[in-house]
Each structure stands twice: as C-alpha cells, then as structure tokens.
Amino acid sequence: MARSKPLKLYRNIGIIAHIDAGKTTTTERVLYYTHRKHQIVDVHDTKEGRASTTTDYMEQERKRGITIQSAAVTTEWRGHRINLIDTPGHVDFTIEVNRSLRVLDGAVVVFDGVAGVEPQTETNWRLADQYHVPRLCYVNKMDRIGANFAHCVKGIKERLAKHALVCQVPLGSSDEFCGMADLVAGVGYIWQSEDKDSPWETVPLDELPGRLKFSSDADNDWLANLPKLRQDLLETALALDDDAFERLLTSGEFDPDLLMRCIRKGTVSGQLVPVLCGSSYRNKGVQQLLDAVVDYLPYPGETGGIATVDEDGNVTGEQEVTDDAPARALAFKVINDQFGTLTFCRVYSGVIKKGDTLLNATRGKKERIGRIVEVQADDTREIEEVRAGDICAFVSLKETETGDSLVDPAHPVLLERMRFPDPVISVSVEPKTRDDVDKLSLALYKMVKADPSLRLHVDQETGETVLMGMGELHLEITIDRMRTELGVDAIMGKPRVSFRETFGKAVEHTYTHKKQTGGSGQFAEVSMIFDPLEQGSGVAFSDEVVGGRVPREYIPAVEHAVRTELQEGQVAGYEVVDFKARLVDGKYHDVDSSALAFEIATRQCFREAQRLSQPKLLEPIMRLEVVLDADYLGDVIGDMNRRRGSISEQGQKGSSAFVDGFVPLAEMFGYINFLRSATRGRGTFTMEFDHYEVVPAGMVEQLMKKESK
C-alpha cells in the first residue's frame, strides 16, 4: 500500500500549559470544528459522571475536572492530518508532558489570559526547549474578568521567549471580548455571538477603530495601535528574507504569501514564536488557531530527524523521517487495561505492518507486531500498517517499556532516550483486605511499569512496600486507579520525603568475610574504592581486579550486593546515590569461597565504607510560587524563611503579588492550610521539585525525628 497522505500534510502536536489554562476545553473545540464530534462537553459538567470530554475520559479526571494522563486524538483540518495530544498541567503529572514532547513535532502553549505565565508553563516551556519543539502561544480566556493581553505578552517575552511575535490582538476583553485582529492577514474577525456555531465577520484593519469602542482604555489603545503593530510584525517576519525586507523598507510593499512563509520559517527554526489569542470556552479563535497549526508548525522531519545513540547515550548519527529507510519507532507510553497492553509509538522511519517482527533494541528482545491501532482517546481503530511520522499503538507487546526503541532487526540501532523526573515523595502501601494481598504486588508493578515517574521499593528489614512518586496527588491517584482499573484495593500511609544519601568523600576499604562452622567454611575478601560522583550521575560499578584475584564468576555477586545495599544507606536508611563502586582487589579460597560469601563481604564493605566517608543526607528542594494579595506578603515571606526557604523573586502579576523561592519539601506538608488561613483563602501556590541539597549537619537528627513520627 502506498502512502495515502504526504508527510507535508501531517502535524503531530501537543497542547501544553499550566493547570486549568484550558487545554482540554480547546481540544474539545478542535474536535468539534474539525467534525470529529457533534457536541461539546465542558470540563465543569463532567463531575457528576454523566458526561465526559473526549480526552479526560478517566474516572479520576472527570471527578476532579483535571487532566491526569495525556490522551491522543487524530483529526483533519484543511486537508492536513492532525495528531494531537492533550496533556495535563498539574506538576505531579509532568512525565506525561515529557513523553509527549519527546515524540511530537510542535506544540501549542496555552495561557490563561488573566494569570499570564504560570510556573508549570515555564517548566513545560523548558521541556519543549530541551526537545527542540517549535511552538505557538495561544492566550486563552480573553473573556474572563481581568484578562490582560499586554501583561501576558510581557510575561511571555520576559520569561519565555524574547522572540515572541504578536500575530493577533484581542478586540476587547472580559465580557466585551468579541474577536481578534489578525496582523498577518490584515483583517479583524468579529463574532456575532458566543454560540459554538456563530459565524464571524471579516473586517479590514483600518475599519476596526471606527466600528468598535470599548470601556477599557487599554483595549482602545490596542485598536489605535494596530497600524504600528502590523508594521512591527512585517519588519520582524520579513527580516528573515533579505529581498523581502529590502522591498518593505524602500517601497512599503510586501507579498502576503511570502510573509506567511517567513513566519513559518521563523517558527520552525525556533527564531520566532507566534502569539495568538481567543476564548475557547466562548468559541472564539479556535479555527484560527487550527489555521496557525497548519500554516506555521512543522511537518514530521521538517526540523530534522531523530538522533541515534550508542549504549552510553552518545549521539552516533541521525535518522531522517522517511518511509524509504529501515523501520524505527520509539515507545513513549504503555497503558494496561482490561484488554491488555497498549504500547504507544511514534514511527520515525520505514513502514511497519501487522505481523512484522521488530527488535526492541533497548532490551535486545524480538517483538511480534500482532495488531496495530489508531487511538482516539479511549477508543481504538484497527489499521494494517503505519509509516514514518505516524503515532499509533501496538497491542499486547510483551517486552517493551516506555522509552524503548523498536527497530528493523536487520538494522539495529538505538534512538535517543527520554529523561524521566525524580520521584520525591513516598508512601507505604498495604493491601486493604485479605483478597488484595496476593494481587497487590502485581498491580503495583503494572502501575509502575506504565508510569516511569513512579518507583517501587520493598524495605528489607520491615518488609514494607514503599511507592515513590512526584507528589501526594500523584500517589493518591495511582492507588485509586489501581482500584478502578485493576480491582485491587490498597491503603496508603502518610506521605514522606524521599531523602537520599551520598558518600561524603572517596574511601578505599577492605572487608574479609570468614566463617568456620563445622564442615565447609565461608571465605571472601573484597577491596573496594567508592568515589562520590556529581549530583544526578547515578550509580556505576567497575571491576578493576587483575590477575583473577577475584574469580570472574563472583563479580556479578559483588555488583548485585552493591546495588542491593545502596537501597538503605547508613545515615538514615535512604537510597545512596551518585557514586562509583570499584572492585580493585580481593582474595578467595578454592573450597570456602562462594557467590554468597562474596555478597556478604561486599555488603559489609559497603556499609563500613559509607560510614567512614562522612556520608551526607540529601533532601529535595522545591521551587515554590505563591500568588496572593499584596497585603499578606509579609506573613507569607516570614513563613517561608521559617521553613528554611529562600526567596528568589517577588513582584506583581496583574492585580496580584507573587513570591518565588526555594523551600525544602520536608517543611512543606500542610502548606495549603497555612496559606489558606494566612491569606483568607485567596492565596494559591504551585510547587515542583527542583534539585537535591545536602541537609545541614545540625538538622539531620531533628529531621529524622520528625520523619519517624
């Protein structure tokens, strides 16, 4: 079968933003206007469970009115196939944005026209920078009281993109918002009503000031400034083409098609970020946003292919996006439901057909592609084949996890990996009833497999099962989903901070394990060096023994012992991170040595060496933003200091004040209650993990006491 749609007519895009900016609301409109559905469901109508938006279909999403997992939909606009992923804005689910951006070619960043740039928008923006994803800004909610386009654009330019290019200007704001001036087309669009099917009138720019009068001076100023704003846009965009720029400056002439091509070129290359506006809820501006997606965002491969890497992650080359190359796909999401496993993939090159066998190059295992489906949120449609540029799901793969490369077995290669965030909060998990005892570990294993920002650990001494995640909501929802999706009920303990430990300095240490009990004895001696590594480096092991002083067959036992022992460090039983363990020497005995003896020796060696290294305790430090009434600023800042926090920025956001800073997570439990009472319920905060820091020596004991309560 030949390709039915040329690659140039594809757009794979994500919608990203801070929580509540209106991503799901916008997605609903996109599906309506592209005729994928006949009715629009509003997010606030889903709580009673009678209705569901297409992308927030999960029970937990409907009840809470927030998006928890990314959902993919496919639609058509102006002959283009649009694969769109609606992502969550809550910081606890950042893995969903991460994995989506990894496989998408472009993104629409949504802003709340009142709040402007919010913390999670900044985080997601940085993620899009990391993955080099070109984007558009869409200032939504222009109909809300207090909507302020100027404030939003200023925030975008100062905090995110100096090169933001205002392509549309709102006509009015709050309840007077009636449409937008399109500086590229040189016309205004005025909607007759807020009905979803309301037509709009197209009016030349120079007639707008005569037609419209608003109660706010700021809104009238935008109108008065339209000619200048258009000139600015022309100069910035046409500067990307020397001839066009010259002509504009000398004769004021320009070619409208060339102008669009320049904006496209600038957006795709990351030199420009177009800014649009609208109100998805009031059905204004969504069709224009879709036009911009088609006009300005890249098709698969337009910004280059995907990097190929070696086993250590070093880039070895690039795979172009084309059908005429060996098959190469990346798994970016795995979900389990009652029908089995769905593995979401982005195909980068080649053609994959039902019945093909691929190689999971990450794990060295073969996978047979039984069924291929196109996914529409929670619905699937079976298809025969997928090609370069496609996003699809394979059904019932056995070996493949998030981030794995699936490739043509005749041309094995690894594709660039994704980065996963660090879980910083943990809870103990216990089965609720006897019935759940046996099923619990399998269910937890499934949840962790589907979500790489979760981690599972069984405490060796107490046997307690510990689940680690990004935040309290993340863990709560994981346990709740286990109940609704897998039918296993569990009880969660009190949330605790995931502290970590390190080696304070390099240590060389030898331990001899010798035991003589009746018959054969046990003997093993290991000499090891533990070198601390830079934060975030992980754990490495190297065998540097020469002359067979530790026989090869015992080396895996030594490495295994290190990797087990590091789970519970000597300062307070937390995971030991960022070090390299080097086995440099040892002794063995022909009869008395065994893998077990070497394991015991290594574990003791590790414990003693860590104690000798003046080990340190690390704690997660969170980036905190509080938005509040300026009157309460003093109290909130004083409190942040008491919580061992530091302030990094403070200022004004529209009519509210804000404080940004860094605070240890250990001091932040129950913060919501403090903030509510300190600001009479009017303050809000967002918090996300930033980095780990050494706990001051004097604080360790005090903190550990608090933790054990």
Residues contributing to the site for ligand GTP (CB under 6 A): 17, 19-25, 42-44, 66-67, 88-90, 140-141, 143-144, 279-281
Residue 218 half-sphere exposure, CB side, CA atoms within 13 Å? 12
**Segment interacting with Mg ion (CB under 5 A) among 61-69, 99-107, 289-297, 629-637:** 61-69
Total length of the chain? 709
User: Binding partner of residue 81 among ligand GTP, Mg ion, none, CB under 5 to 8 Å per kind?
Assistant: none
* 67 or 376: CB nearest Mg ion: 67
Strand order in the sheet with 80-86: 71-77, 80-86, 10-16, 106-112, 135-140, 273-277, 164-166
* 2 or 145: CB nearest ligand GTP: 145
* 26 or 349: CB nearest ligand GTP: 26
- In which residue are the tokens 């879980």 written? 423
- Residue 23 contacts Mg ion per CB under 5 A: yes
Phi, psi of 504 (to 5 degrees): -75, -35
Name the minimum Å distance from CB 16 to ligand GTP: 9
Contact assessment for residue 172 and residue 212, using Cβ atoms and an 8 Å cutoff: yes
* 74 or 87: CB nearest Mg ion: 87
* 96 or 688: CB nearest Mg ion: 96
User: Binding partner of residue 173 among Mg ion, ligand GTP, none, CB under 5 to 8 Å per kind?
Assistant: none
**Segment interacting with Mg ion (CB under 5 A) among 65-73, 116-124, 381-389, 458-466:** 65-73
Closest by CA to 329, choosing from 372, 290, 295, is 372
User: Binding partner of residue 19 among ligand GTP, Mg ion, none, CB under 5 to 8 Å per kind?
Assistant: ligand GTP
User: Binding partner of residue 490 among Mg ion, ligand GTP, none, CB under 5 to 8 Å per kind?
Assistant: none
Distance of CA 668 to the CA centre of its chain: 23
Name the minimum Å distance from CB 175 to ligand GTP: 10
Closest by CA to 611, choosing from 572, 661, 563, is 572
**In the chain, count of helices (H) and strands (E)?**
18, 38
- Residue 70 contacts Mg ion per CB under 5 A: no
- In which residue are the tokens 């209705």 written? 51
Name the minimum Å distance from CB 66 to ligand GTP: 3
Name the minimum Å distance from CB 189 to ligand GTP: 16
Q: How far apart are CA 567 and CA 217, in angstroms?
A: 62
Parallel, antiparallel, or unpaired for β 179-182 and 80-86?
A: unpaired
Indicate the DSSP class of residue 404. -
User: Binding partner of residue 25 among Mg ion, ligand GTP, none, CB under 5 to 8 Å per kind?
Assistant: ligand GTP
**Segment interacting with Mg ion (CB under 5 A) among 21-29, 252-260, 492-500, 640-648:** 21-29
Distance of CA 418 to the CA centre of its chain: 10
Segment holding 442, helix H or strand E: helix 434-450
Name the minimum Å distance from CB 26 to ligand GTP: 7
Closest by CA to 236, choosing from 288, 273, 269, is 273
* 45 or 531: CB nearest ligand GTP: 45
* 75 or 498: CB nearest Mg ion: 75
Q: How far apart are CA 52 and CA 86, in angstroms?
A: 14
Closest by CA to 63, choosing from 537, 502, 481, 491, is 481
One of 24, 69, 267, 679 touching Mg ion (CB under 5 A): 24
Residue type, 584: V
Alpha helices in 182-329 (DSSP H): 208-211, 217-224, 226-238, 242-251, 256-268, 286-296
Sign of CA dihedral 661, 663, 669, 673: negative
Give how far Cα 542 sits from Cα of 45, 435, 565, 612, Å.
Answer: 58, 44, 16, 21
- Residue 582 contacts Mg ion per CB under 5 A: no
* 135 or 446: CB nearest Mg ion: 135
Q: How far apart are CA 152 and CA 139, in angstroms?
A: 7
* 118 or 501: CB nearest ligand GTP: 118
Q: How far apart are CA 149 and CA 655, in angstroms?
A: 14
Name the minimum Å distance from CB 278 to ligand GTP: 7
Closest by CA to 118, choosing from 21, 234, 250, 185, is 21
* 20 or 525: CB nearest Mg ion: 20
User: Binding partner of residue 143 among Mg ion, ligand GTP, none, CB under 5 to 8 Å per kind?
Assistant: ligand GTP
User: Binding partner of residue 21 among ligand GTP, Mg ion, none, CB under 5 to 8 Å per kind?
Assistant: ligand GTP
Name the minimum Å distance from CB 86 to Mg ion: 6
* 118 or 599: CB nearest Mg ion: 118
* 85 or 482: CB nearest ligand GTP: 85
Contact assessment for residue 461 and residue 492, using Cβ atoms and an 8 Å cutoff: no
**Segment interacting with Mg ion (CB under 5 A) among 20-28, 29-37, 75-83, 261-269:** 20-28
Give how far Cα 615 sits from Cα of 328, 537, 574, 597, Å.
Answer: 45, 17, 12, 26
- Residue 67 contacts Mg ion per CB under 5 A: yes
User: Binding partner of residue 144 among Mg ion, ligand GTP, none, CB under 5 to 8 Å per kind?
Assistant: ligand GTP
- Residue 148 contacts Mg ion per CB under 5 A: no
* 23 or 141: CB nearest Mg ion: 23
User: Binding partner of residue 22 among Mg ion, ligand GTP, none, CB under 5 to 8 Å per kind?
Assistant: ligand GTP
Residues 114 to 143 in contact with Mg ion, rule: CB under 5 A: none
Token reading at 356: 């093909």
Name the minimum Å distance from CB 142 to ligand GTP: 7
Closest by CA to 112, choosing from 681, 656, 659, 674, is 656
Phi, psi of 130 (to 5 degrees): -60, -40
**Segment interacting with Mg ion (CB under 5 A) among 64-72, 487-495, 589-597, 699-707:** 64-72
- In which residue are the tokens 């846009």 written? 233
CB-closest chain residue to ligand GTP: 89
Contact assessment for residue 470 and residue 423, using Cβ atoms and an 8 Å cutoff: yes
**Segment interacting with Mg ion (CB under 5 A) among 16-24, 181-189, 442-450, 550-558:** 16-24
Name the minimum Å distance from CB 54 to Mg ion: 11
Q: Which residues bind Mg ion (CB under 5 A)?
A: 23-24, 67
